[in-house]
Amino acid sequence: MAIWLTKDSKVIVQGMTGSEGSKHTRRMLAAGTNVVGGVNPRKAGQTVDFDGTELPVFASVADAMKETGADVTVIFVPPQFTKGAVVEAIDAGIDLAVVITEGVPVHDTAAFWAYNVAKGERTRIIGPNCPGIASPGASNAGIIPADITGTGRIGLVSKSGTLTYQMMYELRDIGFSTCVGIGGDPIIGTTHIDALAAFEADPETDAIVMIGEIGGDAEERAAEFIKANVTKPVVGYIAGFTAPPGKTMGHAGAIISGSAGTAEAKKEALEAVGVKVGKTPTETAKLMREIMSAG
């Protein structure tokens, strides 16, 4: 199986006709993703050729869902239009919205997150500012490279896109059930805890890699969740051990204040609940390799 994205997922792309949307639609198709169309109100009724695959363009997410049965949307629209695109997806009742766009104003993310909650959280939102989600060998929704790992029984959840790719490559011979890049903005639709719960419930995931970073308390809250709810082995990595206090490091959410949100504090919180934490991504992969070989 996999979490949230499977071989049966039908994917549409909001912004498919733009430069980034078209490039990554082509990559998703090459990875075997069942992309069934795109959304652009100004080009509705047209079709776009992707190396021999003709995909229709619809005026709205609702229209695309009605015509194709789509249950996943990947959003490649400029930051100023992202809130509207996500709200449209929520109103259409799609199962999963993967928001790739970076630079989305935090108040816009807060608005569409709250709107989704008010609507009953029918739609799972991943992102914004994320690489997406990939279930190797089944489907790939976003910008995660499709050829760096294989199918396996490890679940991966990460704030960092590049560290997602590195961990996938480090453990490519063992493979993954699903890899989720949740994004590093201060407000995101899917958290470490959401992914941990899904992997815990997935019968085809045997162990979990969790990658966090400095700033906030998401990793500390994840540690509490692991202690109370997760029975599968978890290994972790926290990016930012050398980051100076008070400095943002790459992601808007990666800022520490005093001793709060430091890499060391997060490492200690995770280790206190039995999570093995590596000092580097390579060491973290080695810890997971040892767990999988022992199991």
What pLDDT digit, counting tens, does each position of 1-10 carry?
699 999 999 9
Measured over the CA atoms of residue 149, residue 278, residue 195 and residue 214, the dihedral's sign is negative
Catalytic site residue from 24, 107, 192, 251: 251
Would you state the pLDDT for residue 286? 98
Under CATH, domain 9-124 is a member of which superfamily?
A: NAD(P)-binding Rossmann-like Domain (3.40.50.720)
DSSP state of 257: B
Residue 251 annotated among the catalytic residues of the structure: yes
Would you state the pLDDT for residue 56? 98
Residues 6+ away with beta carbon under 8 Å from 147: 31
The CATH-assigned architecture of domain 147-291 is 3-Layer(aba) Sandwich (3.40)
* CB of 202 closer than 8 Å to CB of 1: yes
Residue 196's nearest CA partner among 207, 183, 184 is 207
φ/ψ of 133, rounded to 5, equals: -140, 140
**Rounded to whole angstroms, how far apart are CA atoms 16 and 254?**
31
Q: Where in the sequence of the chain do the CATH 3.40.50.720 domains occur?
A: 9-124
* CB of 212 closer than 8 Å to CB of 236: yes
Would you state the pLDDT for residue 263? 86
The structure's pTM equals 0.94
Measured over the CA atoms of residue 226, residue 227, residue 233 and residue 237, the dihedral's sign is positive
Would you state the pLDDT for residue 261? 77
Assigned token pair, 69: 């049965």
φ/ψ of 250, rounded to 5, equals: 85, -70
Output the average pLDDT for the chain.
94
φ/ψ of 215, rounded to 5, equals: 100, 140
* CB of 111 closer than 8 Å to CB of 187: no
Would you state the pLDDT for residue 240? 80
Would you state the pLDDT for residue 253? 55
Tell me how far the alpha carbon of residue 159 is from its chain's centroid: 8
Binding site, by residue number, is: 17-20, 43, 100-102, 165
- Dump pLDDT digits (tens) for 12-67: 999 999 999 999 999 999 999 999 999 999 999 999 999 999 999 999 999 999 99
Q: How is 170-190 classified by DSSP, letter by letter? A: HTTTT-EEEEEE---SSS-SS
Would you state the pLDDT for residue 241? 73
The CA-based angle 72-77-83, given to 5 degrees, is 80
Binding site for CoA, by residue number, is: 17-20, 43, 100-102
- Which residue positions in the chain have pLDDT lower than 50? none
Tell me how far the alpha carbon of residue 38 is from its chain's centroid: 20
